[in-house]
Chains A and B, each alone.
Chain A
Amino acid sequence: MRTQEITLLDGAMGTMLQKAGLRLGDRPEALSITAPDVVEGIQRRYVQAGTRLLLSNTFCANAHKLAGTGYNVEEVIGASVAVALRACEGTQARVALDIGPIGELLEPLGTLSFDEAYALFAQMIRAGIAAGAQAIFFETFSDLNEIRAGVLAAKECCDLPVYASMTFEQSGRTFLGVKAECAAMSLTALGVDALGVNCSLGPVEAAPILRAMRSVTDLPLILKPNAGLPDPQTGAYHTTPQAFAAACAGLAEIGAAYMGGCCGTTPEFIRALGEATEGRQACWQAERAHGICSASQLCVFGRGVRVIGERINPTGKKRFQQALREGDLNYIVAQAIEQEEAGADILDINVGLPGIDEAEMMRRVVTAVSGTVSLPLQIDSSDPRAIEAGLRAAPGKCLINSVNASHASLDAVLPLARKYGAAIVALTLGEGGLPSSADERLELAERIVGEAERAGVARGDIAVDCLTLTVSAQQEQARETLEAVRRVRDKLGLETVLGVSNISFGLPQRQLVTRAFLTQAVAAGLTMPIINPNQRDMMDAVDACRVLSGEDTACAAYIERHAPLQQSEKAVSPNGALVQSTTITDAVIKGMKAEAAQIAAAMLEQMKPLELVDGYLIPALDLVGERYERQEIFLPQLMNAAAASGAAFDEVRRAIEKTGGTGEGKGPIVLATVEGDIHDIGKNIVRTVLENYGYKVIDLGRDVRAQRVLEAVKAYGAKIIGLSALMTTTVPSMEKTIRLLRESGVKAPVAVGGAVLTEEYAKRIGADYYAKDAKQMADIAKAILG
């Protein structure tokens, strides 16, 4: 049991300033300069009411929000902290630098990068320290990665106490879908001093959220709610200070050690809070659940079998390697979605490939994947730089795969695990090479666990990999691995990981051996199998194991997944009759993907690939394009037709590669939506259409900096550059990109498109071509590349 004195925070600032005449939409922070007495007066009333940790008037004092006010960050923070320090004079109250969200959405959903957010916070923190702030207080965040950027900036810039609070809806999630438990687990991992809830709800509604946080953190909690829920009509708050204080005070028993108020609260609320908590201490159980999480999904260790999906890994996969080389994140994200839908609980992320910057690729892949799937991640690399890049970028708490018993590995990885609070996979491998027995494996596991604990990694956050060796090469090792798993479970009581598929390498009918090994290993205590979740029989085995272990209570999940099987299998059976009566032109025009591929494959047995392309596919596409222009079909039909011809083109490429040629199309054409713009649907349509005319496209994605366009153009030797911008506000960055390309001597023609552009406008910003739609872009490509 832990206990701590209750520290009173302050109450609302914004609503108090509005009462004093602040207009909505004006920056309250500027008042610290223009009307310091007003700010100090309010803060002094809070201190007199009992506030002992006073937040400076700096909530939005970041460089982006202050732009256009005529003041810079240092001026506003300097003045605000000075005002707060004056308000505390003669008392024991301390001043915390208050930091709120930047007000922009981070990548990948928004355009603000993690590093930019970090830099904005770091600037505020340095200014706060210079002005004499005694703590850093983050509040009202709804994006886990944004508050993580802030906390990391605080931890890396200073040694002051760091407090972190987020704002939740009654559902227990933030606007961005961050779950309370995930917030608590992630912030605990980063080593904040206290964490909790502020704004959006009253103390009664905040209570269940705080309780949810309690289960995954051993830190003191922050409670800074609104004065109840506002009246839906008037927006006014009706809770009395006494009712508010009584509801808050009750939460001292789950460890709410920092209490204050948010919207609608006044010094009277703080005074009432002081009276209600008089003589009380915050106390709580110092135990917490271990595990990992994403922003929205928790994976608590010790609750059963958790499947780690292994598909995001280039080893032995040509298509995946190509995606990495071309930076094709869509392909990688699709792999993540597929595994999530197949039932994976955790995704392994491995992007190591010779010739690519692994750390930068790790950052990009982790960012893109965590924007689209909600699973926790396992960062899989042997390069500490790449591990750190992944841990930094991932919203949540990750698992590191892996650290082994060698000094080099322990020294490089454990400090990262400690700094980011990550869980680790302890791989039973030492300086002496592969272990040969269960004893040796256990000994190595114990050594890593000891070192990890000494380095500050919690024991419960360690999972042991007892190392699967190939049974066809070292047959007796399968037994040793299983025995080691059993001993780790019984003696160390830790989670275990195994790369299950390794077992069957080199054998026919691999899945038989792999599946038998999986079930034996789970019986021996394996909790985190690394498998391909897209293999239905492997996931079926996991379902069955969960039934046998009792994890799947009343077999409910098993029944749900396996009862309706027959129906769905019937529905996807291919229709042979249809294929025979359909021509390739029909299949393309009607957008029938599977049929187009089948027919193309059949035709390729009779004719040369080029004959199929020039004689059938291109004419079919042209026909579709014409019908689209005549408005006989509309956009989704055009896109479905493109997708169908794409499937046929895949067959063509395969046929060419079979005869020893390269299936690569003409080009390449580099495409990008310019910096600052995230509207990429038009660009993606262009990409699809170009690819289906057989061109090779390198798609750089959206919000792409000019410098990155230039680098890609040079690296890939682009023959055409296509730039897209939808907004008037982002056309300037298109112009900037073209200028950079020209100044750097790039001769390749630039074609531009986007809703606000015109032929004339395109010329004015230096483009060579204007494409009003995807069809026209294909015509331009044809004119240039043939």
Chain B
Amino acid sequence: MQIVLQSIPLREVLHFLGWRGTPLESGLVDELKALCRQVCESVQPRVRVQRFAIGKDGRLEGCAFAPEGEDIRSMLAPCHEAVLLAATLGVQSERLLLREQSRGSAQAVMMDAVLSAAIEAVCDQAEESLREEARRSGLYLTDRFSPGYGDMPLAQCREICEVLSASRLIGLTVSQSGIMIPRKSVTAVMGLSKAPVARRPSGCEGCAMRKTCALSRTGD
């Protein structure tokens, strides 16, 4: 799937930096905007998606992947097909982080946030185009559910990458300790259903990170 990263929403970047609406100096905003532009110009996002029929036992047909955990199973329960997604910003994102790190922690922190917002934007675009495609064929797409959300084991990102040949086809690898490298990468499962599906509420309630998230402690 071809995704071009045209812009990165500044709000998202600020969100990743833990911004709470305090006044921002214009210098800082300019710096973040410049980093956003730099990232859009230099990283090449790559996305792999593949559809699989869901078998009676909940396994995906024709592949060695069976989603684990109650949460993902209940999301896929009304679905007849699943879409596996793997997305990455590519190694250029790692190089940018290393370069900024040698300039100082402030720069690295900002670059990290910009890149996090960038991979989210890439996934949102990919999801949007899948949703549109589903709509055109009269189907409904569920939310994007990633290993590590709810009770779905983080380790399943390795299996998704294997099924999609992510390392060979988009350069997304999983290290021995289970870390996806480039770090700015996402794997996810979505379901396709013939009937409308319930979407997760967008606030903290539906978020798997709600127990440990620093942002949720203050009730945001």
Contact = CB atoms under 8 A, between A and B. Distances in A.
Given A330-B102, A636-B106, A676-B179, A25 B17 contact: no
A606 B80 CA distance: 77
Contacts of B168: 100-101, 140, 167, 199
A156 interface: no
Interface stretch (A251-259, A638-646, A711-719): A638-646
B100 to A, nearest CB: 10
B213 to A, nearest CB: 10
A26 B102 contact: no
A655 interface: no
A546 interface: no
B112 interface: yes
Given A109-B95, A112-B176, A24 B64 contact: yes
Best-surrounded residue of A23, A142, A675, A680 (most CB of chain B within 10 A): A23
Given A631-B22, A679-B183, A110 B173 contact: yes
B125 interface: no
B91 interface: yes
B62 A730 contact: no
A1 B62 CA distance: 50
Contacts of A330: 101-102
Contacts of A729: 154-155, 177-179
Contact of A334 (B18, B90, B102, B183): B102
A560 B20 CA distance: 43
B105 A639 contact: yes
A738 interface: no
Given A177-B91, A334-B102, A727-B178, A103 B173 contact: yes
B126 to A, nearest CB: 14
Contacts of B28: 636-637, 640
B32 to A, nearest CB: 8
A23 B90 contact: no
Best-surrounded residue of B17, B105, B155, B174 (most CB of chain A within 10 A): B105
A495 B116 CA distance: 46
Best-surrounded residue of B1, B20, B32, B177 (most CB of chain A within 10 A): B177
Contacts of B170: 175
A633 B22 CA distance: 7
B220 to A, nearest CB: 10
A104 B176 CA distance: 8
A385 B60 CA distance: 53
A372 B106 contact: no
Interface string B155-197: 1000100111101101101111111011100000000000000
Interface string A590-615: 11000000000000000000000000
Given A175-B171, A634-B18, A729-B178, A109 B91 contact: yes
B123 to A, nearest CB: 19
Contacts of B32: 636
Contacts of B65: 24-25
Contacts of B34: none
Interface string B86-109: 000011101101110111111011
A18 to B, nearest CB: 8
B25 interface: yes
A79 B157 CA distance: 30
A637 B167 CA distance: 37
Interface in B93-148: 94-95, 97-99, 101-106, 108-110, 112
Contacts of A688: 104-106
A660 B71 CA distance: 65
Contacts of B175: 104-105, 110-112, 676, 678
Nearest to B111: A681
Given A23-B62, A142-B171, A730-B179, A636 B17 contact: yes
Contacts of B4: none
B181 A635 contact: no
Contacts of A637: 25, 28
Nearest to A23: B64
Contacts of A26: 64
B20 A25 contact: no
Interface string A691-732: 000000000000000000000000000000000000111100
Contacts of B177: 111, 675-677, 727, 729-730, 733
Contacts of B164: 24
A687 B109 CA distance: 13
A639 B106 contact: yes
A239 interface: no
B63 interface: yes
Nearest to A142: B171
A104 B62 CA distance: 25
B139 to A, nearest CB: 16
Nearest to A371: B98
A678 B167 contact: no
Contacts of A679: 179, 183
B158 to A, nearest CB: 10
Contacts of B176: 64, 104, 111-112, 676
A643 B110 contact: no
Contacts of B92: 177
Nearest to B14: A634
Given A334-B102, A684-B101, A729-B179, A635 B171 contact: no
Best-surrounded residue of B28, B90, B97, B175 (most CB of chain A within 10 A): B175
A355 B1 CA distance: 53
Interface in A729-786: 729-730, 733, 755-756
B62 A24 contact: yes
B102 A109 contact: no
A572 B215 CA distance: 38
B2 interface: yes
Given A640-B106, A685-B109, A590 B25 contact: yes
A104 B173 contact: yes
Given A24-B64, A105-B181, A680-B101, 20 more contacts: A23-B62, A24-B65, A24-B162, A24-B165, A25-B65, A25-B162, A100-B168, A103-B173, A105-B182, A110-B175, A111-B175, A176-B171, A232-B1, A337-B99, A635-B18, A636-B109, A643-B104, A681-B97, A685-B105, A727-B177
14 contacts: A24-B162, A25-B162, A101-B168, A105-B182, A140-B168, A175-B91, A177-B91, A635-B18, A639-B105, A678-B181, A679-B183, A729-B155, A729-B178, A729-B179
The 9 closest A-B pairs by CB, nearest first: A175-B171, A676-B177, A639-B106, A25-B64, A25-B163, A24-B63, A334-B102, A729-B178, A688-B105
Interface of A: 23-26, 64, 100-101, 103-105, 108-112, 140, 142, 167, 175-177, 199, 232, 235, 330-331, 333-334, 337, 371-372, 590-591, 631-637, 639-640, 642-643, 675-681, 684-685, 687-688, 727-730, 733, 755-756
